[in-house]
Amino acid sequence: MRESRIALRSIRATNDKDMRGTTMHRRQILRAFAGAALCPLCAPAAFAAETHWSYEGPTGPDKWGDLAPVYRTCSAGSQQSPIDIGQTIAAQLPPLKIAWGKGADLIVNNGHTIQLSFTDGGGNTLTVGDRSFKLAQFHFHRPSEHLVGGRNFPMEAHFVHEDPAWGIAVVGVLMASGTANPTFNRVVASMPPTPGPPVKVDPPIDPNGLLPAGRGYFRYAGSLTTPPCSETIDWLLLADPIQVADTDVARFAQLYPRNARPAQHGNWRFVLRSG
C-alpha cells in the first residue's frame, strides 16, 4: 500500500513537471509570435527578400503555404482566419474593456497595408475577463477579410493586442459605406504614398475614433491573416460596423485595391456571440 502511494506521488510529480514544461514551451511560442503581432504584416528584411508574398498571382494567398517552410501553416492549419461568420452561439462572454488613452504617432506603408503604431507602447490596453493585453498596432484591409452571413464590407480594421503570458488578441472592426469618419479621414490623409520607414503623425491619431458605439462581438480561435498564419489568435470581431466615406475608401484603394485574404474553412469551429 505504501509503495502504491509512493508510485502515485511519483506519477503526479512527473505529470506536474510535464505540465509545467508544456506551459513554459507554450509561453515561449507565444512570446515568439508576440513579436509577429507587433508587425504581423512585416518580416525581417533579409527573410522578406527571400519569401515575398502578395495578395495575387504566384505569391498570392492560395500559394502562401508553399512559399517557405515557416509559412506551411497557411495551407496545413486547421484554425485559419478570416472566416465567414454564419451560425453563432449566444454566450455570456466577458465585456471588452478597451482603454486606449494614447494616440498613434507613427504611420507606415509597409508594402502590404497602412499600419499605425506608437512611439511609447504603454498605456493602451484591452481587458477580456481576467486577461489584459497591450495594443501594439492597428492596420487596414480592403475589402473586409471577415464576412458576416456571406457579406463582406468595403474595409476592415485590425487592432492587434499582445501579452507574453496570454498571447495575441485582435479586435476587428468592419467598415461600411456611409458618413465620413474623421479619424479614418486623417489616416488616409496621412498615408505615405510608397512603402518605406515609419513617419511621424502630428498630432497623434486616436484609435478610439475607429470604434462603434456598441461593444457586442463575435469570438473564435483563429490565426494571423498573413504569413506565417500562426494559429495563436483570439479573434474578437465587433458586431456593429463603423461608417466611412466612399471617397476615403477610394483613396485607400489607390494604394491597396485589394489586400484581403479570402475566407478560410471554419472546420467546425464554434463562433460565440456576446449576449
pLDDT grade for 123, boundaries at 50, 70 and 90? confident
Q: Which residues pair with 199 in a beta bridge?
A: 107
Q: Is residue 22 part of a domain?
A: no
Which grid coordinates belong to 129? 475577463
Whole-angstrom CA distances from 164 to 30, 36, 81, 171, 226 are: 6, 12, 21, 17, 20
Q: Is residue 19 part of a domain?
A: no
The single residue of 112, 141, 146, 158 carrying the catalytic annotation is 112
Per the structure, the complete domain to which residue 201 belongs is given by 36-274
Q: Is residue 8 part of a domain?
A: no
Which grid coordinates belong to 21? 514544461
Q: 101-106 — which CB contacts under 8 Å span 24+ positions?
A: 102/204, 103/203, 103/204, 103/205, 103/206, 103/207, 104/137, 104/138, 104/201, 104/204, 104/205, 104/207, 105/200, 105/201, 105/202, 105/204, 105/205, 106/198, 106/199, 106/200, 106/201
Using the CB atoms, write b or e for 198-231: b if 16+ within 10 Å.
beebeebbbbebbbbeebebbbbebbbbbbbbbb
Q: What are residue 182's phi and psi, to 5 degrees?
A: -60, -35
The string of DSSP codes covering 129-158 is TTEEEEEEEEEEESS-SSEETTB--SEEEE
> Which uninterrupted H or E stretch holds 8?
helix 2-38
Q: Is residue 252 part of a domain?
A: yes
Per-residue pLDDT reduced to its tens digit, 42-88:
443 333 445 899 999 999 999 999 999 999 999 999 999 999 999 99
| 14 pLDDT above the threshold of 80 | no
| Total domain count, the chain | 1
Which CATH number covers residue 208?
Answer: 3.10.200.10
Q: What was the pLDDT predicted at 121?
A: 66
pLDDT grade for 122, boundaries at 50, 70 and 90? low
Q: Is residue 9 part of a domain?
A: no
Q: Is residue 1 part of a domain?
A: no
| 6 pLDDT above the threshold of 80 | no
Is residue 112 part of the annotated active site? The answer reads yes
DSSP letter at 193? S
pLDDT grade for 166, boundaries at 50, 70 and 90? confident
Q: Is residue 205 part of a domain?
A: yes
Q: Is residue 257 part of a domain?
A: yes
Whole-model pTM: value is: 0.84
